[in-house]
Amino acid sequence: MTGPLIEAAGLTKRFGSALAVGDVSFAVHAGEVVGLLGANGAGKTTTIRMLLGLLAPTSGQARLLGGSPSQDNRALLGYVPQNLGLYHDLTAAENAAFSAAAYDTRPASLTGALAEVGDRLVRALPLGLQRQLAFVCALQHAPRALVLDEPTSGVEPLARAHLWDTIREQADDGVGVLVTTHYMQEARQCDRLLLMSRGRIVGEGSESDIVGDTRVVAVRSGSWQQAFDVLHGADLPVTLAGTTVRVVDADHDEVARMLADSGVQATVEPVPASIDERMVVLARS
């Protein structure tokens, strides 16, 4: 099959008068990792639930492997939900066996650190191992598409790099991957990004496509606390990176003038914005 593995076509979901997802269209093809970004409440999880066939759209269409989401094509999909979806009162090996049976396949043998804890209850495993196990359960039936909802939340850097090895290997083998994340290091591992805000797709492409023309001014000052107070007091969206004060979506000259008027000595310069900062702009607009 050459068409998209996962596809949203004008997907819309209303809950009463509230628009949760509005006219969302995108596709995930074989071999690519697509990152779905957005603040809480942006509509990411509702979109995923419609794509999986767990929630009926108000209008528009969800397609999995070319057809409507159903038991049959869901069997060709691997899904790691945010809460991992493991059975806490079963052992690691029993979880793998149960999930294999549900997909009518043979359980994968547990390897590495998981091999040593196969007979332990999942509830007794550290979160990092639980995540590895959730990946095993999602992958052992050799799915053609993967949906991962915040797959590495709470994992230390090396373990996170290893989980991303697994994700990229899957993509190299031709699996299409849709992954949600809140973390920009992870967003950079994706081939393509989608940014959602208030139910709609508001940005698509690379990191710089997403950031667009969002402007950030960096303020460096020996009296950075005072600089912070002045700018925050003026109701500007201010953040701190170390002792550098960052002002999102602000005018360079205006910031410089405010600081000068308050007698704060500082260097003020425009710097590239991050995706996080783009989201702050969207949330304020």
Partner 1 sequence: MTYGTEHVSVRFGNVQALDQVTVSTDAGTVTAVVGGDGAGKSTLLRTVVGRIAPAGGRVLAPPEQQIGYQPSVGGTWADLTVAQNLEFVGGTYGLQGSRLARRSEELIERAGLTAARDRLARDLSGGMRTKLGFCLAMVHEPTLLVLDEPSTGVDPVSRVELWRLLSEVAAAGTAVLLSTTYLDEAERASRVVVLKDGRTLLSGSPDEVIASSPGVVVRTDTAIRQGFAWRHADGFREWWPQVPDGQQPVQVDLEDVAIIASLIQHRSIE
Which of residues 15 and 66 has its CB atom nearest to partner 1 in the complex? Answer: 15
Which of residues 59 and 206 has its CB atom nearest to partner 1 in the complex? Answer: 206
Min CB(62)–partner 1 separation in Å: 24
SS (H, E, C) the chain: CCCCCEEEEEEEEEECCEEEEEEEEEEECCCCEEEEECCCCCCHHHHHHHHCCCCCCCEEEEEECCECCCHHHHCCEEEECCCCCCCCCCEHHHHHHHHHHHCCCCCCCCCHHHHHHCCCEHHHCCHHHHHHHHHHHHHCCCCCEEEEECCCCCCCHHHHHHHHHHHHHHHHCCCEEEEECCCHHHHCCCCEEEEEECCEEEEEECHHHHHCCCCEEEEECCCHHHHHHHHHHCCCCEEEECCEEEEECCCHHHHHHHHHHCCCCCEEEEECCCHHHHHHHHHHC
Min CB(73)–partner 1 separation in Å: 30
Min CB(169)–partner 1 separation in Å: 10
Which of residues 28 and 33 has its CB atom nearest to partner 1 in the complex? Answer: 33
Min CB(270)–partner 1 separation in Å: 19
Which of residues 7 and 277 has its CB atom nearest to partner 1 in the complex? Answer: 277
Which of residues 21 and 62 has its CB atom nearest to partner 1 in the complex? Answer: 21
Note the residues at the interface with partner 1 (CB under 8 A).
Answer: 38-42, 126-128, 150, 153-159, 161, 164-165, 168, 182-185, 188-189, 225, 228-229, 232, 237-243, 275-277, 279-280, 283
Min CB(74)–partner 1 separation in Å: 26
